[in-house]
Chains A and B, each alone.
Chain A
Amino acid sequence: QVQLVQSGSELKKPGASVKVSCKASGSRFTGYAMNWVRQAPGQGLEWMGWINTNTGNPTYAQGFTGRFVFSLDTSVSTAYLQISSLKAEDTAVYYCASGGNCSSASCDEGYFDSWGQGTLVTVSS
């Protein structure tokens, strides 16, 4: 089972950008989907989308297109979430989670068996 370690908390001003990292260890980095999940303060879990660790092809959920970008650096077994033009409503904990098997063509859905510890992004002037 893969272990996921995320970067630390961030405090950003509205309009700025942030890049959250998620480093995988303990298992091979490719072959599965790396998912991103948002949890606003006191709220539930919201799936943002995934990235195919074989191909780097991202899939974004509704509501997470445009300002949100998923990327990979396979040389360091790390996935990234970048959010641009930050708004106060982006304040949340962001989790990476592995789940679903991927081929070179696509990913299948699967349960999330490993989670990062979460990264708190606070957007405030």
Chain B
Amino acid sequence: DIVMTQSPDSLAVSLGERATINCKSSQSVLYSSDNKNYLGWYQQKPGQPPKLLIYWASTRESGVPDRFSGSGSGTDFTLTISSLQAEDVAVYYCQQYFSTYTFGQGTKLEIK
């Protein structure tokens, strides 16, 4: 199975500042035949289901604010929130869908 490891486990950022969450996969999730990274990012607020933010590592889901962006390829990926808003407090998960599915352990984002 592909293991997904996120860093850090928790993060405190001031309002308006940049937040960066990293995700590393134990093997590449880049599919050579279509040159796509099979990697998604989800946001989960307390008491709510996860919400898809980013798919194919860098494509923003419809309706997701443009302060959220995804980058990376192969085994190393990053979710960036360019200017943290109060409503962004949540736990963020990466997920690989290259070979069945596995999620990272989650990163808890709080306001400093």
- Identify the A interface with B (CB < 8 A): 35, 44-47, 61-62, 95, 97, 99-100, 109-113, 115-118
Contacts and interface: CB of A to CB of B under 8 A. Distances in A.
Contact of B52 (A46, A61, A109, A112): A112
A95 B48 CA distance: 10
B103 A35 contact: no
Interface of B: 1, 38, 40, 42, 44, 48-52, 55-56, 61, 93, 95, 97-106
Contacts, number: 55
Given A44-B105, A112-B95, A95 B49 contact: yes
B49 A118 contact: yes
A34 to B, nearest CB: 13
Contact of A111 (B1, B40, B99, B106): B40
A91 B13 CA distance: 33
